[in-house]
Amino acid sequence: MGIKNRVALVTGSASGIGKQTALRLAENGAKIVINDIVPEKVEQTVAEFKKAGHEAIGHVADITKKASVEGMIKAAVDAFGSIDILVNNAGMEKAGALRKLTEADWDITLNVNLKGAFLCCQAAHNYMVEKNHGRIVNIASRAWLGGAGQAPYSSAKSGMVGLTRTVALELGRKNVTSNCIAPGLIETPLWYELPEKNRNFLLSKQPTGRLGNVDDIANAVMFLADDDAGFITGQVLYICGGRSLFSG
């Protein structure tokens, strides 16, 4: 049945995985709300989408602020009539050894990755329940399994898995699904900021011997956002080239 004319909001979608995901949803006929915290990037992304013939609006909001999130969901509904697909993608990481991390590192990482997703789910809740339709896709990370130097990030992404499962249980009878994608190493500009030695080490641990790309994630979101995916809920889908098969 697809997603034609469904309304999709992708947080943090002026860059990377979120942008490609929003594009894939738009290419399949969804009306798109581009969100990010950086106004110029939102403006530019919306202009690109419109130029390509897609229906899109932009909404600058910090997803860690409840009032901003509520305003964003309302703006989506005011513009397009509903909110059908919510992709909680915005994220960031403060990494470091446990003993060196600061309280501020912990707070910002938990706030953006976890609290932001919670606030968005909460704000979309009534609209989805009223319409008896919703598809929530949370972008966690394979690192939710644990990662040395990743205490705040891994904890936040673990929390997203718990949030995903809980929302699935609470809203299952309202035809609102809630699933999680756990990407592994994805080729983004951030990857090339790592020293070559680190990149080679990480690549050597990939069972498939390669990085993922933004399309690998966008395609999976499309699959879970589809009207036909209504019997899939509460799941974690790893897109990590097999890296979740072993620890260390």
Active site residues: 153
Among 6, 10, 16, 171, binds ligand NAD (CB under 6 A): 16
Nearest distance, CB of residue 99 and ligand NAD, angstroms: 23
Among 37, 83, 110, 121, binds ligand NAD (CB under 6 A): 37
Q: Is 63 in the site for ligand NAD (CB under 6 A)?
A: yes
- Cα separation, 221 vs 85, whole angstroms: 10
Q: Is 241 in the site for ligand NAD (CB under 6 A)?
A: no
Q: On the CB side of 206, how many CA atoms lie within 13 Å of its CA?
A: 17
Among 3, 6, 8, 12, binds ligand NAD (CB under 6 A): 12
Compute and round to an integer the Cα radius of gyration of the chain: 17
Backbone φ, ψ for residue 8 (5° rounding): -120, 130
Among 45, 82, 109, 141, binds ligand NAD (CB under 6 A): 141
**Residue 15 Rama label (left phi>0; alpha psi -120 to 50; beta):** beta
Give the residue with the Cβ less far from ligand NAD, 113 or 177: 113
For 55, 125, 148, 247, the CA distances from 216, given in Å and listed in that order, are 23, 28, 25, 22
Q: Is 90 in the site for ligand NAD (CB under 6 A)?
A: yes
- Cα separation, 32 vs 85, whole angstroms: 9
Written as six digits, the tokens of 138 are 């949370």
Nearest distance, CB of residue 51 and ligand NAD, angstroms: 20
Region from 36-44, 79-87, 123-131, 229-237 binding ligand NAD, contact rule CB under 6 A? 36-44
Nearest distance, CB of residue 59 and ligand NAD, angstroms: 10
Region from 45-53, 119-127, 178-186, 198-206 binding ligand NAD, contact rule CB under 6 A? 178-186
Among 7, 8, 10, 18, binds ligand NAD (CB under 6 A): 18
Give the residue with the Cβ less far from ligand NAD, 118 or 133: 118
Written as six digits, the tokens of 126 are 């009534």
> Inter-axis angle of helices 151-171 and 116-131, to 10 degrees?
10
How many other CB atoms sit within 10 Å of the CB of residue 231?
6
Buried b / exposed e along 125-155 (16+ C-beta atoms within 10 A): bebbbeeebbbbbbbbbbbbbebeebbbbbb
Q: Is 112 in the site for ligand NAD (CB under 6 A)?
A: yes
Q: What's the burial of 70, exposed, middle or buried (CB within 10 Å: 0-12/13-18/19+)?
A: middle
Nearest distance, CB of residue 175 and ligand NAD, angstroms: 26
- Contacts with ligand NAD by CB under 6 A lie at 11-12, 14-18, 35-38, 62-64, 89-92, 112, 116, 139, 141, 183, 185-186, 188, 190
